[in-house]
Structure 1
Amino acid sequence: MSDERRQARWENRTEAPLGVASLLYLTAYAVLVLASGLPRGWRGVCLAVLLAAWAAFAVDYAVRWRLSGQGPRFVRTHWLDTLVLLLPLLRPLRVVHVYEAVQRRRGRPRLTLHARVVAYAGLSALLLGFTGALAVYQHEHAAQGATIRTFGDAVWWTAATLSTVGYGDVAPVTPVGRLIAVGVMLGGLALLGAVTGSFSSWLLQVFAREDPKDDERPPGR
């Protein structure tokens, strides 16, 4: 069996478990950030869930590296997976892989595939927005001179940033908060590009099939 087939089988088998691990990771992180009076024992449970989920991500990354047969080149060719391993909160950006898979498809346009990209991107935008709001709230709400004081402020800021509107009424003031802002901006652009690119690709395929070729048109037209 080729390396690509073995890697594809591994990814198919681990997609659902890693999805559950991602939700557990996000839930544990949200509890740690939002539940300020959390008992010490529960904090330990949340930290254990975070570490266990990250360990699952690391194992998946190592196995796919080994199955790829690419050696160190795997880090460069799978830069998004590497970034997600270092920052698990960015896992929603893996929807870009779905978009790339659709772009590689040839032949008859299939609305279901393109619609799936749009649906995944919408869900990923919600998840990325929620995680971005959590992260920026964690580092901003107690900072001196901060304008993001509540989680509601963080959600509002994240929505404005992801949508590339950027009202500017609230903004991060800490170095980490501004770094998170850069990540949210880049994530919003990537997801927006996946949606618009997939929709445009589907329209072009439909128009290409509906318009007759020049050599097939009747004479005199």
Structure 2
Amino acid sequence: MTDTALARWERHNGVVLAVASLLFLASYALRVLGGGLPGALRDLCLAVALAAWAVFVVDYVVRLRLSGQRLPRFLRTHWLDAVVLLLPLLRPVRIVQTYQRVQRRHERPRLALHARVIAYAGVAVTLLGFAGSLALYQQEHIAPGADIVTYGDAVWFTCTTLSTVGYGDLAPVTPLGRLVAVGVMVCGLALLGAVTGTFSSWLLQAFARDGERPPEHAANAPGASHRVDD
């Protein structure tokens, strides 16, 4: 692999991006759930969230410059980063992406491919579920006629939506809340498809290996001797 300036940048800024993602999520959670917090502390949380967002902007601009690509092509090849800049709901995904970059430093990943996919999906579901429930609660709990009035309601709705169960006992009523719900639905379908496909692939490979292995009784039979060429 060519050690370009872009590759070196992406290899060494993973920790910074992971910390920025966690700080953004923590400050956003405090602002949403900490209704009784002092005004100064809420302003500090807002400043931390904006600073974390600025880190993502700087990272995106630097990688654009180092790639030597024009903006349209860079957007096509790094579309997830562009979405992360625009949608706060997806910013925790950068933590999963950072873990992938760390794994690339090792010649042999610690987990097999199927295990890595399931592990990434599990982490992504947890982070997206937490961020989605926060965004949903922020938009819904003070809306007139809202069904989701507590954070527990938001967590329940997010879990049922991510799992594609959808009991229908709760539903968002605000436009932004419904937009968040649509994003959670799409993420749930994508992650469920990834896990299901990976598990099916693992089963097929396991069955194929078992089918190619000769039965023990046939291998140990008296007539199953190796033929020696003259």
TM-score of the two chains, using structure 1 as the length reference: 0.81
Give the Å deviation of 1:77. Answer: 2.4
The CA distance in 1 between the partners of 2:77 and 2:44, in whole Å, is 35
The AA in structure 1 aligned to 2:153 is: D
After superposition, the C-alpha distances for 1:163-200 in whole angstroms (9 at most, x for unaligned) are 01110100100000000001111111222222223333
1:6-37 Cα deviation digits (max 9, x unpaired): 33322221112211111110000000001112
Instruction: Indicate the larger mover: 19-28 or 188-197.
Output: 188-197
Q: Distance in 1 between matches of 2:158 and 2:39?
A: 30
Q: Aligned pair 1:35/2:4, yes or no?
A: no
Q: Hey, what's the Cα distance between the residues in 2 that align with 1:209 and 1:181?
A: 42
Aligned-residue identity in percent: 66
- Spell out the pairing of 1:2-81 with structure 2 (5 A cutoff): 2=2, 5-72=4-71, 73-81=73-81
The one-letter code of the counterpart of 2:12 is R
Any stretches of 5+ residues in structure 1 without a counterpart? 102-109, 213-221
Alpha-carbon distance in 1 for matches of 2:94, 2:49: 19
Pair member with larger Rg: 2
Distance in 1 between residues matched to 2:200 and 2:67, nearest whole Å = 32
Contact 1:96 1:190 (C-alpha < 8 Å) held by counterparts: no
**So what's the TM-score if we normalise by structure 2?**
0.78
Q: Any stretches of 5+ residues in structure 2 without a counterpart?
A: 102-109, 213-230
Work out whether residues 121 and 191 of structure 2, in 8 Å CA contact, stay in contact via their aligned partners in 1: yes
The 3 A distance-change label for structure 1 pair 203 and 14 is: farther
Q: Is the 8 A contact 2:17 2:95 kept in 1?
A: no
Q: For the Cα contact (< 8 Å) 1:95–1:121, is it kept in 2?
A: no
Is 1:198 the equivalent of 2:208? no
